């Protein structure tokens, strides 16, 4: 079993909720909406939608949203907490055919596969299911930020701690979060900003913009990364 097949359960939601990771949802929705630049009625694919914290509010704004996730439990939570979108259990490498006007991939929901060719296959599949001119918005960690931040254990708000190790040869980061009796370990591949932009171009996207956050700003070792790519 891959780690991500069991990681994303209600305990994952409890831990990251306690850490304050979901408190900025309203501003995230505003920023994503602005980056997409779409009109109500547009069709959006939320890749790794989790419990629907972005898909649900976007649906309420008049978009036709399809959320996909590999976690059956997350999709159950999505239907309970954020009804409105169509929720499907699916692998990000095999999204529904669409065509969609846009796709979003948020909260570092990328790089989960041991083989980087699977990451490339996923991004290529996302491009394929978009209409010409369709937009992809990604928001994630990048390699330079991890190198800057994670030299020692991290104490998140709410009593959530995170420890980990980065293999700088393979580019794989292994992290363990602890919140009371909840202990969960996850792995993801780190990419530089340059590598991600190249990956998007190779997948079939044309123009790619890179920002230090969904609301814009310059990319730096201190910032996260937001990418806007147009098919």
In order of start, what are the domains of the chain with their CATH numbers?
A: 4-139+192-230 (3.40.50.150)
Q: What confidence tens digit (pLDDT) does each residue in 145-194 have? A: 998 887 667 778 788 888 889 999 999 999 998 999 989 899 999 999 99
- Say which residue, 2 or 48, is predicted with more confidence: 48
Using alpha carbons only, how large is the chain's radius of gyration in Å? 17
Percent of the chain whose predicted confidence (pLDDT) is above 90: 77
CA distance 79 to 119: 27
Specify whether the CB–CB gap between 112 and 11 falls below 8 A.
Answer: no
State residue 1's pLDDT score: 67
Structure tokens at 182: 């909840």
pTM of the model: 0.94
Average pLDDT of span 6-27: 84
CB 13 within 8 A of CB 51: yes
Tokens of 50: 């989790």
Mean pLDDT of the chain: 93
**Average pLDDT of 53-64?**
97
- Of 148, 115, 135, the C-alpha closest to 221 is 148
* pLDDT, position 221: 92
Residues in the chain: 231
pLDDT at position 217: 95
Over 70: is that where the pLDDT of 78 sits? yes
């Amino acid at each position: 079993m891959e780690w991500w097949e069991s990681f994303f359960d209600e305990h994952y939601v409890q831990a990251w909720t306690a850490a304050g990771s979901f408190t900025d949802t309203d501003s995230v929705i505003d920023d994503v909406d602005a980056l997409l630049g779409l009109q109500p009625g547009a069709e959006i694919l939320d890749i790794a939608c989790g419990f629907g914290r972005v898909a649900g509010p976007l649906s309420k704004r008049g978009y036709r949203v399809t959320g996909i996730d590999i976690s059956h439990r997350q999709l159950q939570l999505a239907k309970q907490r954020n009804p409105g979108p169509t929720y499907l259990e699916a692998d990000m490498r095999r999204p529904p055919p669409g065509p969609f006007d846009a796709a979003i991939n948020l909260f570092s929901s990328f790089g989960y596969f041991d083989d980087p060719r699977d990451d490339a296959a996923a991004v290529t599949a996302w491009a394929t299911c978009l209409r010409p001119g369709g937009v992809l918005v990604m928001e994630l960690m990048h390699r330079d930020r991890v190198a800057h931040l994670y030299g020692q254990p991290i104490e998140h708000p709410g009593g959530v701690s995170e420890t980990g190790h980065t293999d700088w040869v393979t580019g794989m980061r292994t992290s363990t979060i602890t919140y009371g009796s909840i202990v969960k370990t996850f792995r993801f591949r780190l990419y530089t900003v340059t590598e991600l932009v190249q990956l998007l171009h190779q997948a079939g996207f044309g123009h790619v913009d890179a920002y230090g956050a969904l609301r814009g700003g310059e990319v730096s070792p201190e910032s996260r990364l937001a990418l806007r790519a147009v098919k």
